[in-house]
Each structure stands twice: as C-alpha cells, then as structure tokens.
Amino acid sequence: MAKARKIDVLINNAATIVVKPFEELTEQEFEQVYRINVFKTAALIKHLIPLMERRGDEKSHIVNISSMGGFQGSARFAGLSAYSSSKSALSGLTECLAEEFKTMHIAVNCLCLGAVDTDMLREAFPGYKASVTAAEMGKYIGWFAINGQHYHNGKIIPVSSGTP
C-alpha cells in the first residue's frame, strides 16, 4: 500500500449529538459530544499537518463542518447545549489554526450548516423537513473545499437557507 505524500483538502465532518435538557445531561454525554465534535477533529488535523504544509502560492485547505447552532448570534434551541457549544468551540479552533498555519500555506475555514435533510437533523427536530438534501450540501462543500482557500482563511461562514 502506498503512503500519501501530500493532502490538498481535509474536510472534518464527523459529529454526534445528544438531544437532552442541560440539567439532564451526564458528564459522560457532554464529554462524548466534545470528544467527537472537537477533540478528535483537532487530533486528526495535528496528525495530518505534515502532509498539508505547502510552499509558494499553493495552499492546502482544512474545512471544518460546524452548525448554525454554533454560529454566534444564530437561533438557539433547547436540548442542544452540548452540541451547539461544541460547534462553537470548533469555530474558535478554526480561527486559531488559520492564524497558526498561514505561514505553512494551509487555509482553515469553517462552514456552519443550517438545516440539511440528515438523520441528525431528524433526531434534533422530529417532523421538520429541510429543503436542502445531503447530496446538494455535499456538492457545495466539495466545491468550497477545492476553491474556498483562494478567497477565505479563518472564516466562519454561515451556509443556511432556513432555520428549523
């Protein structure tokens, strides 16, 4: 098996959610949401940095996938405190890493997705029907991952046509 010599794009889209009032959340549930949504993302980035560093005008691109629930000033929903706060942390991490990695020619941006028709949305908002399919959003994320670093670095970008 050949080893990768360089990575041009990294899309961090792993996430988990617990829908439960804050006072009912266990410490383990809260930690698990942060472990998947923030800590594992940070660990993967750290591991792959040597394969992403560039020289000259060429840039690689890290795209963190967050949520409108983690976007400052957006609507908040009861029962999503662990999820939304972990996505806010991912946004903050994005801004910090963009600054740290700019001399390595690695752009880091964060897309805060609104309602997309996924199992996670249906778990958080039973009965709500999103107007954007996962395939449609996937096409946009793919385009942004390939092109976004030419226009943005360290940006937290809302990608939403509606709010549940």
pLDDT, position 56? 79
Q: List, in order, residues 6 or more apart from 62 with CB less than 8 Å away.
A: 9, 10, 12, 45, 52, 97, 101, 106, 107, 108, 109
Superfamily of domain 9-159: NAD(P)-binding Rossmann-like Domain (3.40.50.720)
pLDDT, position 1? 63
- Read off the pLDDT of residues 46-71 as tens digits, 9 standing for 90 and up: 999 999 999 878 899 999 999 987 78
Place of tokens 């996670």: 120
pLDDT, position 55? 81
* Rounded CA separation 134/100 (Å): 32
User: Would you please indicate which residues are annotated as catalytic (active-site) residues?
Assistant: 83
- Read off the pLDDT of residues 35-47 as tens digits, 9 standing for 90 and up: 999 999 999 999 9
Report the pLDDT averaged over residues 151-158.
Answer: 96
Burial class of residue 4 (count of CB atoms within 10 Å of its CB; 0-12, 13-18, 19+) = exposed
pLDDT, position 122? 82
Report the pLDDT averaged over residues 89-106.
Answer: 97
Q: Where are the domains of the chain?
A: 9-159
